[in-house]
Amino acid sequence: MKMDFPQVDLPLEVLAWTDVTEDILNIYKQSCRLQACIVAICTEGYMKASINLLDYEIRPNDLITLLPGTIIQFKEKTEKVRLCFAGFSSTCAGRINLIKAIGDAYPKLLELPVVPLSEDISKYLKEYFTLLSHVSCDDSFDMDPELSEISLQAILTSVRLIYRKLIVKNDSSNRKKEICRELIQSITEHYKEERRAQFYADQLGISLQHLSTTVRQVTGKSVLDTIAYIIIMDAKAKLKGTNMTIQEIAYSLNFPSATFFGKYFRRYVGMTPVEFRNG
CATH (domain of 48):
2.60.120.280
> At 202, which CATH number?
1.10.10.60
pLDDT given for residue 171 in this prediction: 56
Cα angle for residues 83, 89, 92 (degrees, 5° grid): 130
What is the predicted pLDDT for the residue at 165?
87
Alpha carbons 121 and 155: distance in angstroms, whole number: 12
pLDDT at 6: 65
pLDDT at res. 123: 95
Question: For 82-86, 138-142, 235-239, which range has the lowest pLDDT when averaged over its residues?
Answer: 138-142
**Domain C-terminal end among 113, 130, 164:** 164
**Do residues 113 and 200 share a domain?**
no
What is the Cα–Cα distance from 95 to 87, expressed in whole angstroms?
Answer: 14
- Across 24-28, 44-48, 56-60, 191-195, least confident range: 24-28
Residue-level pLDDT at 156: 95
Answer with the residue of higher pLDDT: 129 or 99: 129
Q: Is residue 2 part of a domain?
A: no
pTM of the model: 0.73
- One domain, residues 36 and 153: yes
Same-domain status, 213 and 125: no
Q: Report the pLDDT value the prediction gives residue 189, as an integer from 0 to 100.
A: 85
How far is C-alpha 116 from the geometric centre of its chain's CA atoms?
A: 18
Of residues 153, 163, 47, 157, the one with CA closest to residue 115: 163
* Domain enclosing residue 183, as ranges: 173-278
- At residue 218, what is the residue type? V
The confidence band for 79, taking pLDDT boundaries of 50, 70 and 90, is low
pLDDT reading at 50 higher than 80: yes
- Establish if 1 belongs to a structural domain: no
Last residue of some domain: 119, 137, 164?
Answer: 164
Residue 152 has pLDDT above 80, yes or no: yes
- Choosing from 164, 181, 216, the residue where a domain stops is 164
Concatenated DSSP letters of 8-68 = E--SSSEEEEEEEEHHHHGGGSS-EEESSEEEEEEEE--EEEEETTEEEEE-TTEEEEE-T
- Say yes or no to pLDDT of 4 above 50: no
Task: Please give the average per-residue pLDDT across 258-277, as a whole number.
Answer: 94
Are 179 and 107 contained in the same domain? no
Give yes or no: residues 181 and 244 share one domain: yes
Other C-beta atoms closer than 10 Å to the C-beta of 147 total 14
**Residue that wins the pLDDT comparison between 122 and 27:** 122
Per the CB < 8 A criterion, the answer to whether 30 and 56 are in contact is no
Q: What is the count of structural domains for the chain?
A: 2
**What's the pLDDT at 173?**
44
* Residue at 114: amino acid letter: V
